[in-house]
Amino acid sequence: MYPDRAVIAAVNDRFVALRLDHADPHVRPLQVVWLPTVLIADRRGNVHYRNVNSVPPAEFLDVLDLGETVVSLREAQYARAVARLEELLGRRAEGPLHDEARYWLGIAGYYQGGHDGEARDRAWAELAARYPGSIWTKRIPEPPPTTSDLAAN
C-alpha cells in the first residue's frame, strides 16, 4: 500500500483497492505494460483511467481525483465530477495535473449545467490562459465558423 496517510485515506474511503499479479493470465486484458500501474475502473470493471509508475503523494491524490472524475462522468454523476475537480484544483495553487483537471472541469461543467457551453468555455479559457502550450489546451476544439466568418471569406 502507498505509504502516505492522505493517500491511504482517499483509497480506503473512495475505492476498492486490488493488488493484481501481473503474471496472472486474467490480468493480460488490462494491458499492463509497466509496474506499478494504477487502474481506475467503474463498478463493472471497465477501466476509465490509468497511471503508470509511481508519483509523489500530492500527485497521486490528483491521479485518484482525475480517475474518479472520469468514472463519474461516464456514470452521469456530473456534480460529483465537478466537486472532485474543484477539490483537486483547490488543494494547492499549481500542480502537474492541473491542466488536465481544467480540461475535464470544462466537460463536467458542461454536462452538469445541462449542456452549458458557457461553463465549458470559462473552464477552457482558464486552461488556455494558464497553460497555452499544454496538450490539454490543444484538445480544445476550435469554435466552428460563424456565418459572418464564412461571408468574409
pTM: 0.87
User: Is 148 domain-assigned?
Assistant: no
Model pLDDT, residue 152: 64
For residue 94, the enclosing domain spans: 5-141
Could you list the mean pLDDT of each consecutive 10-residue stretch along the chain, which spans 153 residues?
Answer: 86 91 88 90 94 93 97 98 97 96 97 95 95 96 61 61
- Please give the DSSP secondary-structure letter assigned to residue 3: S
Residue 151 located in a structural domain: no
For the chain, what is the domain count? 1
Q: What is the CATH number of the domain that holds 102?
A: 1.25.40
Residue 149 lies in a domain: no
Residue 28: per-residue pLDDT: 87
pLDDT at 23: 87
**What are the cell numbers at 111?**
454536462
Output the CA angle 79-107-89, nearest 5 degrees: 70
CA 151 vs CA 53, 116, 143, 147: distances in Å: 51, 28, 16, 6
CB 124 within 8 A of CB 114: no
For residue 152, tell me if it sits in a domain.
no
C-alpha cell belonging to residue 53: 509508475
How much is the pLDDT for 40?
A: 95
